[in-house]
């Protein structure tokens, strides 16, 4: 039953939109992220309440059932997910959002639409479908369900071109005829293109694609707002699309790449990358945690470089405790943070903040790169691609052109790694064979625990 008049509903939408903007602003800082999430959630509740109380709702029982079912799945999943799995969660949520927008558009099309509305619906169906499958392919790559390497086969570029032309032709036929079968076909083409769009993208570029697909989902939601004449959906979708686009460009810039180079780079690679080279049987200098403790004792300036391996091993608390202990005995210790060290911007910052590492100890790449020449020892924990010199020296490498942390400029470098296997980009790290590099093999958390005990025992 309609309770609120239109002016009150629109006021509610305005308040919700303001809260969404404040939430996005707050999410730019780990200090304000928790409050920003609450603001965003409050805005969503206000928006839903304003709509429900301002319209005559049909099928209310089905809507309530869907809300309860969704909450029953989403709340436990969100509570149980580790920070290390946050990029996968973002990808999954993004895909569901795009899929929902596409389905709403198909349903709206059954009610009839003029040429303008039909065009918006066609756009929403296609982009939403692409975002759905594309996001779940990125989820699979990050989760290790499918290979993280670029998957390219002969004729892929031609196939994508043909499918794109088919999507345009189907969309035109859909608008002209009003036939639901064309809408279903367009959705199907979008789903297929989503898969083929993401498969050729591998390694460190996958997080950037998540952000790009997030922008696509925002556009799909904005399209839903246009076709449903819902101002709030239009605003929210535009905000998501704009923020996703800005983040995509920022991440690509931080990686030293262009967005087009990331998306279409696999099609242009004529020669094999470093990922195709076999791992040579060359000796590396391995050390024990006790050996590393001795090196740390004689180091005044230390930079800890955390990577995804640290996150997976849940070793951030041990790393924070080690840094605190070294600082207490007079060493200058900072954490060198690569923009995508945790696979997404800010991911590693939040993880270390969770371990109570002071914000001033988190030094971004542009700053810390100027400090490595005066650094006694760099402790690289679970990182590979973000310190791999192949980004500068191997034009055929998937990470070529990506800015890296110049750890090789320090006096000594120690890697804490589970194994000598390639990183997420699938390429070998030549730095392992540098004479001033040592490697302590083993689980990052276990090794750090032993290292911390050895350092304390040396006092």
Domains of the chain, residue spans: 81-268, 280-457
Q: Which member of 281, 332, 385, 434 is catalytic? A: 385
Q: How many other C-beta atoms lie within 10 A of the C-beta of residue 329? A: 13
pLDDT for residue 457 = 83
Binned at pLDDT 50, 70 and 90, residue 231 comes out as: confident
pLDDT for residue 257 = 66
pLDDT for residue 272 = 43
Binned at pLDDT 50, 70 and 90, residue 17 comes out as: very high
Cα–Cα distances in Å, from 6 out to 15, 43, 51, 242? 14, 18, 10, 28
pLDDT for residue 273 = 42
- Has residue 63 got a pLDDT over 60? yes
CA 158 to chain CA centroid, Å, is 28
| Global confidence as pTM | 0.71
- Has residue 314 got a pLDDT over 90? no
- Has residue 336 got a pLDDT over 90? yes
* Least trusted range by pLDDT, from 93-102, 205-214, 290-299, 331-340: 205-214
- Domain 280-457: CATH superfamily, name plus number: TPP-binding domain (3.40.50.1220)
Q: How many CA atoms lie within 13 A of 301 on its CB side?
A: 10
Q: Where are the alpha helices (DSSP H) in 255-356?
A: 259-268, 289-297, 308-312, 316-328, 347-354
Mean pLDDT of 48-65: 85
| Sheet with 332-337, edge to edge strand ranges | 362-364, 332-337, 301-306, 377-381, 412-417, 437-441
- Has residue 271 got a pLDDT over 60? no
pLDDT for residue 99 = 92
pLDDT for residue 5 = 80
Percent of the chain's residues with pLDDT above 70: 91
- Has residue 146 got a pLDDT over 80? yes
Q: How many other C-beta atoms lie within 10 A of the C-beta of residue 114? A: 9
pLDDT for residue 320 = 92
User: What does the pLDDT look like over 254-267, one tens digit per residue?
Assistant: 666 677 777 776 55
pLDDT for residue 406 = 93
User: What does the pLDDT look like over 102-126, one tens digit per residue?
Assistant: 999 999 898 888 888 899 999 999 9
For residues 340 and 221, which has the higher predicted lDDT (pLDDT)?
221
pLDDT for residue 268 = 56
Told to judge if 385 belongs to the known catalytic residues of this protein, a careful annotator would answer yes
User: What does the pLDDT look like over 373-428, one tens digit per residue?
Assistant: 999 999 999 888 889 888 888 777 777 778 889 999 999 999 998 877 766 666 77
For residues 15 and 271, which has the higher predicted lDDT (pLDDT)?
15
DSSP state of 314: T
Q: Please give the Cα distance from 439 to 418 (Å, whole number).
A: 10
Buried b (16+ CB within 10 A) or exposed e, 142-161: beeeeebbbbeeeeeeeebe
pLDDT for residue 274 = 40
């Amino acid at each position: 039953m309609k309770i609120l008049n239109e002016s009150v509903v629109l006021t509610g939408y305005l308040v919700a939109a303001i809260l969404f903007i404040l939430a996005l602003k707050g999410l730019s800082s780990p200090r304000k992220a928790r409050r920003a999430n609450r603001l965003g959630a409050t805005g969503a509740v206000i928006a839903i309440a304003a709509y429900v109380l301002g319209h005559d709702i049909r099928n209310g029982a089905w809507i309530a059932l869907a809300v309860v079912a969704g909450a029953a799945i989403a709340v436990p999943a969100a509570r149980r997910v580790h920070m290390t799995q946050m990029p996968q969660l973002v990808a999954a949520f993004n895909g569901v959002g795009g899929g929902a927008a596409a389905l709403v558009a198909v349903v709206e099309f059954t009610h009839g639409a003029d040429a303008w509305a039909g065009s918006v619906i066609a756009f929403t169906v296609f982009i939403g479908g692409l975002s759905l499958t594309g996001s779940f392919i990125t989820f699979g790559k990050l989760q290790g369900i499918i290979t993280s390497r670029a998957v390219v086969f002969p004729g892929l570029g031609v196939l994508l071109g043909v499918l794109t032309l088919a999507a345009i032709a189907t969309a035109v036929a859909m608008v002209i005829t009003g036939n639901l079968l064309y809408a279903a076909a367009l959705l199907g083409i979008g789903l297929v293109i989503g898969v083929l769009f993401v498969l050729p993208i591998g390694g460190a570029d996958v997080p950037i694609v998540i952000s790009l697909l997030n922008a696509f989902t925002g556009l799909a939601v904005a399209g839903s707002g246009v076709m449903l004449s819902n101002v709030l959906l239009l605003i929210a979708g535009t905000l998501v699309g704009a923020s996703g686009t800005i983040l995509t460009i920022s991440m690509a810039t931080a990686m030293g790449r262009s967005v087009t180079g990331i998306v279409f780079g696999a099609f242009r690679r004529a020669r094999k990358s470093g990922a195709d080279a076999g791992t040579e049987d060359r000796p590396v200098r391995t050390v024990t945690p006790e050996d590393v403790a001795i090196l740390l004792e004689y180091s005044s300036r230390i930079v800890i470089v955390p990577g995804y391996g640290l996150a997976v091993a849940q070793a951030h608390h041990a790393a924070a405790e080690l840094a605190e202990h070294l600082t207490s005995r007079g060493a200058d210790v900072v954490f060198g943070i690569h923009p995508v060290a945790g696979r997404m911007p800010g991911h590693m910052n939040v993880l270390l903040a969770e371990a109570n590492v002071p914000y001033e100890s988190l030094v971004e790449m542009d700053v810390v790169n100027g400090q490595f020449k005066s650094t006694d020892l760099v402790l690289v924990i679970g990182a590979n691609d973000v310190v791999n010199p192949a980004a500068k020296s191997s034009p055929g490498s998937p990470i070529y052109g990506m800015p890296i942390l110049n750890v090789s400029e320090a006096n000594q470098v120690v890697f804490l790694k589970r194994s000598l296997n390639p990183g997420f980009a699938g390429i070998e790290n030549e730095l392992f064979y540098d004479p001033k590099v040592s490697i302590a093999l083993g689980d990052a958390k276990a090794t750090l625990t032993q290292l911390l005990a050895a350092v304390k025992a040396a006092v």
